Amino acid sequence: MVFGKPLPLLFGQLLLGLINGSFYAILSMGLAIIFGLLRIINFAHGAMFMVGAFVTWGLLTYLGIGFWGAIICAPLLVGLLGLVLERVLIRPIYKLDILYGLLLTFGLAQVLQGLATNFFGVSGVSYDPPAAFARVVNLGFMYMPLYRGFVVFAAIIVCGGTWFVVEKTRLGALLRAATENPALVQSFGVNVPRLLALTFGGGVALAGLAGVLAAPLYAVNPGMGSDLIDTVFAVVVIGGMGSIGGAILTGFGLGIIEGFTDVFYPPGSAVVVFVVMAIVLLARPAGLFGKAA
Amino acid sequence: MFGFSRAQLISLVILIAVVIAAPFFVYPIVAMQVMCYALFALGTNLLMGSVGLLSLGQAAYFGLGGYTAGYLVQSLGLTPEIGIVAGGLAGGLLGAVFGWLAIRRQDIYFAMITLALAQIVYFGAVQLTGFTGGENGIQGIPRSALFGLFPLANDHAIYALVAVVFLIGVVFVHRVIHSPFGQVVRAVRDNEPRMVSLGYRPASYKRIMFILAAVLAGIAGGLKAMVMGIQTLSDVGIATSGLVVLMVLLGGIGTIFGPIVGALIVIAMQYYLAPFGAWVIVIQGGIFVICVLVFRRGIVGELAYRLKSPL
């Protein structure tokens, strides 16, 4: 017993918090990468997450490709969709006021969600976890469904990998340089428009990957992305969009806070992230890891 | 006259004529719904057009106004005008608090913050069932007599009330935009550092505009609750916040009459396309995308541009 709550309950909520945090971290990281270079807040990020989950389901249902195939194919397909959308819709508005990007992607999210509702209905479809993970292990202090442990593990790998690419590789260095001064980078012979397109594709591919991970956990439904996106926005405001590491830490941290709020004050769990956001705005308007704008 | 340009005056006369004629040609409930949303959109446009801030959480004030009016009239048995005024006040109070927080950040962040704050109101509305009725909403709000004297049960009677409030709203928004206060707000939008150096406090101007937009949203929400006799969770949701932004964008950001035309088209579309289910959402999203890509002035904005006169 800790604070009058049984220990397995606390660990269970910690795991739940880590899982939610995994999705917050992957999604807010993708938003931060896209925003850093393209100066566009992708409101359709949640919709891309939803598309990733439906693609995972579709690969199994129509092509017989299982979870392990989907975890490779679905992000690629979502990334490809991202490349097309960038070329057709987003490239024409780079020069416009920053808010038009938000309006455009807001509309795009509605289109994607509406289409999914038309084809699959509001309640959506269900997807089983891979057979190897469809069991529960006894950790001594709690029982853990193996798939949930895998999600947290996979999220840490994905976040760590993305952080490494952006912060430690030549491609990442180009990306960061183009964020600072695109004209200068272009004058060195780098194809900046292609870099922008790839960044958008890569960012939404991350959202697609999160969708693959989510498919066996939640009901695959058209609203799954829009339910998540406002929390992810709050995470982004709290963390500031300045750093990848900041987005990851904030995502996991808020997932855990949300999980524990559910133990101690259940009605508060839906709003705790937003309340934290309000407090951070009062104390540090630029966000925990943000540079003053 | 009264600061109205010639084209605006003609438009206002046309608008009044349409408002008077409408209930004889279309279902009055739909016409009233258009006017409620138009009032809501007029307020939202004060933020989008004059201040240059995009709020994605306006439904919070609209919904709170509706719940306040619905609760006061149904549970406490107060008269409609008290409900509607209280709705506006409640919206304004919430706007004062949220505006104070959100104004700390600009553009993109401002939009995300207003969205996140509105979600607090949404989840609050889900849980405070004593006030909001939770998932069921407030049902069967009676159309009691205005000031306790004039019965509103008849559709045409309540139509007159909605029309008067709406038209006062149009003139009020025009006055705000063309007042010295409105001039300062637009100057802040165009060059904030310069206004600071001239000794203005941009934050307090933005805050007042935010509160005005919230009051108009609250009044519109209260009116709509009276008209429909029902207040539900969808009125505080993100979809409603997006809907009002679409109305402003489609009609013309920064115009007086644009939000009204936008509200008319969007509500008419919802009404006539209702049998097609989720395709309405797809079409709305598509209009969003097309407006941003090729039609950023909006319908009235484009007209004003062609006529070379503000509308």
pLDDT single digits (tens) B74-131: 989 889 999 999 999 999 999 999 999 999 888 788 888 898 899 999 999 999 988 8
Confidence of residue A287 (pLDDT cuts 50, 70, 90): confident
Mean local confidence (pLDDT), B3-22: 90
Q: Would you give the distance in Å from CA A54 to the centre of its chain?
A: 16
Q: At residue B24, what are phi and psi to the nearest 5 degrees?
A: -85, -15
Residues 166-225 (B) with a CB less than 8 A from some CB of A: none
Cβ distance of A270 and B278 shorter than 8 Å: no
Q: Where are the domains of chain B?
A: 21-235
The share of chain B scoring above pLDDT 90, in percent, equals 70
The whole-angstrom distance between B230's CA and the closest CA on chain A is: 24
Cβ distance of B113 and A104 shorter than 8 Å: no
Q: Give the separation between CA A271 and CA A194, rounded to whole angstroms.
A: 39
**Degrees to nearest 5, angle at CA B269 with A88 and B249:** 50
Residue A205 is predicted with a pLDDT of 96
Residue A239 is predicted with a pLDDT of 86
Cβ distance of A226 and B123 shorter than 8 Å: no
Closest CA to B189 of B263, B261, B115, B253: B253
Cβ distance of A107 and B287 shorter than 8 Å: yes
Q: Give the separation between CA B11 and CA A292, rounded to whole angstroms.
A: 45
The whole-angstrom distance between B20's CA and the closest CA on chain A is: 34
Query: Which residues on adjacent β-strands are paired with residue A147?
Result: none
Nearest CA in chain B to A115: B282
Output the pTM of the full model: 0.90
Nearest CA in chain B to A226: B238
Nearest CA in chain A to B249: A103
Measured between beta carbons, the chain A residues lying within 8 angstroms of B286 are 107, 111
Element (H, E) at A148: helix A146-168
Residue A293 is predicted with a pLDDT of 46
* Cβ–Cβ contact B106 with A under 8 A: yes
pLDDT single digits (tens) B198-257: 999 999 999 999 999 999 999 999 999 999 999 999 999 998 999 999 999 999 999 999
Residues 35-94 (B) with a CB less than 8 A from some CB of A: 54, 56
Cβ distance of A98 and B107 shorter than 8 Å: yes
Q: Give the separation between CA B231 and CA B234, rounded to whole angstroms.
A: 8
The whole-angstrom distance between A247's CA and the closest CA on chain B is: 15
Q: Give the separation between CA B101 and CA B172, rounded to whole angstroms.
A: 26
Measured between beta carbons, the chain B residues lying within 8 angstroms of A106 are 56, 242, 245, 285, 288
Q: Which residues, including other chains, have CB under 8 Å from residue A280's CB and lie 6 or more apart? A: A237, A238, A287, A288
Q: Give the separation between CA A243 and CA A223, rounded to whole angstroms.
A: 29
Among the partner-chain residues B109, B120, B278, the one whose CB lies closest to the CB of A114 is B278
Q: Give the separation between CA A129 and CA B73, rounded to whole angstroms.
A: 51
Residues 93-122 (A) with a CB less than 8 A from some CB of B: 93, 96, 98-100, 102-104, 106-115, 117-118
Residue A27 is predicted with a pLDDT of 94
| Mean pLDDT across chain B | 91
Residue A1 is predicted with a pLDDT of 63
DSSP summary character for residue B231: B
Q: Give the separation between CA A277 and CA A260, rounded to whole angstroms.
A: 17
Mean local confidence (pLDDT), B21-37: 93
| The two three-digit tokens of residue B62, written as one number | 């609209």
Look up tokens 């909001």; give the residue: B132
Cβ distance of A233 and B288 shorter than 8 Å: no
Interface test with B, best of A27, A111, A265 (most B CBs within 10 A): A111
Among the partner-chain residues B109, B127, B289, the one whose CB lies closest to the CB of A107 is B289
Q: Are strands A136-138 and A143-145 parallel, antiparallel or unpaired?
A: antiparallel
Other CB atoms within a 10 A radius of the CB of residue A279 amount to 11
Residue B2 is predicted with a pLDDT of 64
Kindly provide the b/e burial profile for residues A245-261, where b requires at least 16 CB atoms within 10 angstroms of the residue's own CB: ebbbbbbbbbbbbbbbb
Nearest CA in chain B to A92: B293
Among the partner-chain residues B126, B246, B279, the one whose CB lies closest to the CB of A118 is B279
Higher per-residue pLDDT: A91 or A9: A91
Nearest CA in chain B to A109: B285
Measured between beta carbons, the chain A residues lying within 8 angstroms of B238 are 226, 230
One-letter identity of residue A74: A
Nearest CA in chain A to B52: A99
pLDDT single digits (tens) A43-96: 999 999 999 999 999 999 999 898 999 999 999 999 999 999 999 999 998 888
Measured between beta carbons, the chain B residues lying within 8 angstroms of A41 are 108, 111-112
Query: Which residues on adjacent β-strands are paired with residue A136?
Result: A145
Interface test with A, best of B45, B129, B293, B295 (most A CBs within 10 A): B293
Closest CA to A30 of A181, A173, A155: A155
Q: Give the separation between CA B140 and CA B119, rounded to whole angstroms.
A: 26
Measured between beta carbons, the chain A residues lying within 8 angstroms of B296 are 96, 100
Nearest CA in chain A to B128: A267
| SS3 state of residue B146 | strand
Mean local confidence (pLDDT), A31-37: 88
**Degrees to nearest 5, angle at CA A144 with A140 and A14:** 95
The share of chain A scoring above pLDDT 70, in percent, equals 98
pLDDT single digits (tens) A226-284: 889 989 988 988 887 777 888 899 999 999 999 989 888 888 888 899 889 888 888 88
Residue B1 is predicted with a pLDDT of 57
Cβ distance of A115 and B111 shorter than 8 Å: no
Cβ distance of B289 and A281 shorter than 8 Å: no
DSSP summary character for residue A194: H
pLDDT single digits (tens) A103-161: 999 999 999 999 999 999 888 888 888 888 878 888 777 788 888 889 999 999 999 99
Cβ distance of A274 and B120 shorter than 8 Å: yes
Closest CA to A27 of A204, A249, A149: A204
The whole-angstrom distance between A272's CA and the closest CA on chain B is: 9
